[in-house]
């Protein structure tokens, strides 16, 4: 019965849109010690919730005590490769592929609910379930690897030998025993180190060891305060997330476009012009990024990122919009706008910084302005 049930679940999951499916027993984590050491080393940065969730991550049955099986799932989000004219244009911001479309949490949760209803319908007994999409305290990469979805690569993403790494992980805990897929994943990174070499901030300290505090995805999304000055120049025009370690991965040459239309770029999310973003109001930000993963950074964090990208562009046309940004209600935006003006330099930038210094009251922003004035003087 369970073999037949497993086959039906696998077929339905793929029909719904989960290209990769693996099923394993719901058992304690085998990599929790490595994860705990990673936390102890401080590599999680300000993501304190990872520490709080540690006890729950030791065993998926902490989430569902009745769980007997774990269905590991992956859904492709690869859509298209933008033209080099867009990706190489420093006047445009680069947004990680996963955030081009509608929030994947909403899309995937709907599919998971559809699959759980199917399981409950065909099972010959009452079934309890618990779904997860990266927000739940589950070591989903470990279980994806155990279920044969792929292997955990040197950049810490999961890679499938046929599909590459452009996919989201998800899963369902179920209270019934199913046939399992305890098979070693096919493929490996071998001697390739392209992801390590390509990382602009050297965030991949060693194979499978990522220091989040250096990762541009962390800096542009999870970090809530100021971005360290030393890291800002390495961020280029990346304003939300970073795909560099995936873009250079040879396995992603195998990627094929997803069938899920919700992952395709929404208007304005594919390399938007930086000058169209820096002075957005809260209302404009909320409207533009409604139902988008970008809202996670919040307006202040997103405009902080845009200011850094403008500073890296160093074009005089950004001076007036950045001057306006130094009047923003958010100190975080004002401080990074000041830094950007310092990178651009020139008479107009120095004048804008001097004018703001006369009225600024926030200590961190004052420090940013003074440092920016020194930078602008050097560049003159």
| Catalytically annotated residues | 134
Q: 75 to each of 106, 133, 140, how far by Cα in Å?
A: 13, 11, 14
* 8 Å CB contact between 161 and 99: no
Tokens of 241: 């997330």
* Nearest of 321, 373, 366 to residue 343 by alpha carbon: 373
Determine the number of helices (DSSP H) and then strands (DSSP E) in the chain. Answer: 16, 10
* Nearest of 99, 96, 98, 113 to residue 18 by alpha carbon: 113
Residue 52: HSE in the Cβ half-sphere, 13 Å Cα cutoff: 6
| CA–CA dist 272, 87 (Å, integer) | 10
Kindly give the residue spans of alpha helices, DSSP state H, lying in the chain.
2-16, 32-40, 48-52, 54-57, 84-87, 104-122, 140-146, 194-198, 216-217, 244-247, 282-288, 298-313, 319-325, 331-344, 347-357, 363-379
Q: 281 to each of 234, 328, 329, 366, how far by Cα in Å?
A: 27, 9, 10, 23
């Amino acid at each position: 019965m369970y073999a037949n049930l497993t086959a039906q679940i696998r077929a339905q999951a793929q029909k719904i849109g989960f290209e990769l499916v693996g099923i394993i027993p719901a058992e304690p984590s085998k990599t929790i010690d490595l994860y705990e050491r990673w936390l102890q080393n401080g590599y999680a940065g300000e993501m304190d919730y990872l520490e709080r969730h540690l006890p729950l991550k030791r065993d998926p049955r902490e989430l569902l005590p009745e769980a007997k099986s774990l269905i590991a799932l992956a859904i492709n989000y690869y859509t298209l490769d933008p033209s080099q004219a867009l990706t190489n244009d420093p006047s445009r911001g680069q947004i990680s592929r996963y955030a081009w479309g509608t929030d994947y949490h909403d899309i995937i949760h709907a599919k998971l609910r559809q699959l759980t209803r199917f399981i409950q319908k065909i099972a010959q007994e009452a079934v309890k379930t618990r779904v997860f999409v990266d927000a739940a305290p589950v070591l989903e990469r470990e279980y994806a690897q155990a279920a044969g979805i792929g292997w955990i690569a040197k950049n810490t993403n999961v890679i499938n030998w046929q599909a590459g790494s452009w996919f989201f992980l998800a899963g369902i805990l179920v209270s019934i025993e199913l046939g399992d897929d305890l098979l070693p994943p096919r493929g490996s990174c071998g001697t390739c180190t392209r992801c390590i070499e390509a990382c602009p901030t050297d965030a991949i300290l060693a194979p499978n060891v990522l220091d989040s505090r250096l990762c541009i995805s962390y800096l542009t999304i999870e970090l809530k305060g100021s971005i360290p000055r030393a890291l800002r120049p390495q961020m280029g025009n990346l304003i939300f997330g970073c795909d560099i370690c995936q873009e250079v991965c040879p396995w992603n040459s195998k990627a094929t476009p997803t069938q899920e239309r919700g992952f395709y770029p929404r208007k304005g999310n594919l390399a938007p012009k930086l000058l169209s973003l820096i002075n957005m109001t809260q209302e404009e930000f909320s409207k533009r990024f409604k139902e988008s993963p970008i809202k996670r950074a919040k307006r202040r964090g997103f405009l902080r990122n845009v200011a850094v990208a403008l500073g890296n562009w160093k074009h005089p046309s950004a001076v007036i919009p950045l001057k306006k940004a130094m009047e923003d209600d958010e100190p975080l935006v004002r401080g990074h706008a000041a830094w950007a003006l310092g990178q651009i330099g020139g008479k107009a930038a120095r004048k804008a910084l001097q004018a703001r210094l006369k009225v600024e009251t926030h200590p961190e922003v004052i420090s940013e302005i003074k440092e920016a004035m020194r930078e602008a003087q050097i560049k003159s």
